[in-house]
Amino acid sequence: MATFTTLDGTEIYYKDWGTGQPIVFSHGWPLSSDSWESQMLFFASHGYRAIAHDRRGHGRSSQPWEGNDMDTYADDLAQLIETLDLSEVILFGFSTGGGEVSRYIGRHGTGRLAKAGLISAVPPLMLKTESNPKGAPIDVFDGIRAGSIADRSQLYRDVASGPFYGFNREGAKVSQGLIDSFWLQGMLAGHKNTYDCIKAFSETDFRDDLKKFDIPTLVIHGDDDQIVPIQAAGPESAKLIEGSKLIVYPGAPHGLTDTHKDQVNADLLAFVKS
């Protein structure tokens, strides 16, 4: 297994497939780098170096008690990029990973980057506040925390079989395989880590980070996203990122990297080559 050790002693697992310009993928909650496998296989087969890590506390990485916050996630991502001495990186973040990418740029700049992409991503801010009236009320996230404490295994099954992939919509083609994969990835993650991450993805304000993007950026969001509702997400991020390109997928759910993977791969490839 390929790993590196962070400055606070956390061991981070990563995959490194193929050769060429590096594309680094940051995953969502409570998943791991496995959630990007369709995109990694696609890009490694098209002449790119596809890299993805398991965020601290997730997948095959260590499960530290502390550091389950966006600043530390971003610093871990920076250390991965620096450890592998990557340059001209294309950085893609899905859901919570989009927050990680945004905070990375906010804290570390774009010196090593060529382009960035936010897919079904949590920025600018998920939580409803006085300055963010389109966000979701804190009760929504308190409910996720309560579900995690009560029976997180069942929580993950319910999320995967319902809103994450849009399997609760009339006419949806349900994949038990995707449900099982989501559950397995979630259960490999640490209980404390995934619990803390709920606060990190829901309450972190990325608005100032997005204003620091100075590279070509693609924003993709489904307009039937029940996890990160579009009204407070993709289009709002695109407004804050100067010169960004927004693509909205009609009827697409949160987990569109799987449900719409052919379209996502084509759009990402076109963006990478542009």
Annotated catalytic residue: which of 53, 108, 221, 254? 254
Q: How many CB atoms lie within 10 A of CB 69?
A: 17
**Per-residue pLDDT at 14:** 98
The ranges of the chain with pLDDT < 50 are: none
Tokens of 7: 């400055």
3-state secondary structure of 181: helix
Cβ-proximal residues to 60 (8 Å cutoff; 6+ apart), any chain: 1, 13, 32, 54, 188
Q: Which domain does 49 fall in, by range?
A: 3-273
CB 176 within 8 A of CB 170: no
Helix (H) or strand (E) holding 44: helix 37-44
Q: Which of 70, 99, 121 is nearest to 254 (CA)?
A: 121
How many angstroms from the chain centroid is the CA of residue 75?
A: 15
DSSP letter, residue 131: T
Specify the pairing of strand 3-5 against strand 11-17. Answer: antiparallel
Question: Would the pTM count as exceeding 0.95?
Answer: yes
Angle at 91 between CA 90 and CA 97, to 5 degrees: 165
Annotated catalytic residue: which of 32, 61, 95, 120? 95
Residue 225: active-site member: yes
**Per-residue pLDDT at 1:** 78
**Per-residue pLDDT at 187:** 98
Q: Cα–Cα distance between 125 and 132 in angstroms, integer?
A: 7
Number of residues that make up the chain? 274
Residue 157 belongs to a domain with what CATH number?
3.40.50.1820
Annotated catalytic residue: which of 54, 75, 209, 225? 225
Residue 95: active-site member: yes
Residue 254: active-site member: yes
DSSP letter, residue 31: -
Domain count, the chain: 1
